[in-house]
Structure 1
Amino acid sequence: MATIDAFQHWVYANPGHTHEERSEHWLELRRRFGPKTDWSGFNELKETSWQSQLHLFQVPFYYIEYGIAQLGAIQLWQHHRRDSTDGLARYARAMKLGNTKPLPELFEAAGLDLGFDEGHVASLIGELRVAMVEIGA
């Protein structure tokens, strides 16, 4: 998600870029965010793999929506782990509003933080790590 979001931001912020610059920037982002994949013998595919992400062409900047949704889902999961009835009630309150309110108000209705600061995200990741250890993952 971070790779695609950073790539499309760069593409739109640098409209006069060349094919070579685009390829190099994609590879730089793959090194920064990507797994340590062995691309031996597939260099051309590695350089053009961004083209398989149809979101870039059909709904630019939509990937960030997935990230925001994940932040909300993790928080609901946290509440559910602590108190399943409360977690479900929070979810139901937000969903009852459906498409009638903007996203910040949906998060507020569920008692969720629509924050992107490092501390908030780190706390979510911390609880995910604990849960993964608990299940032996």
Structure 2
Amino acid sequence: MDESTPLFAIAVAAELAGMHPQTLRQYDRMGLVSPQRTSGQSRRYSMRDVVQLREIARLSAEGLNLEGVRRILELENQVTALTGRVRELEAALADELLTRPGRRVFAAGAEGEVVSLRAGTRARKQNQLVVWRPLRSDDPSA
């Protein structure tokens, strides 16, 4: 059972949302909330529907008319859908990058630069020796 499971009859949903059942019918006719229907055409509201009814009440209390509320809900639903689609595409891209043959791996070079490597290869290690001798102020060769 999740938040979109239709559980509540109209009277229960109205009580949970703090509204009159007639208001829920009006919102259903306007398309603000679309509860699922039973085989006998009774409305069944989910927890998501109840949350949306509370949001409608909050926006209405802030002075928005129902058309403004409808538009805000429509835009919020679009943002939710687009966010989900972006997540799907990011996951598909990550999978593609991980499974694509010949993908590149990057490493840091000796000077701090970015070095591109083919998959399965290793960066060559530099085996150079640097001798450091501190300068002395009494050293005549300095």
Q: TM-score range by the shorter chain?
A: under 0.3
| TM-score normalised by the chain length of structure 2 | 0.24
| TM-score normalised by the chain length of structure 1 | 0.25
More helix by share: 1
Larger Rg: 2
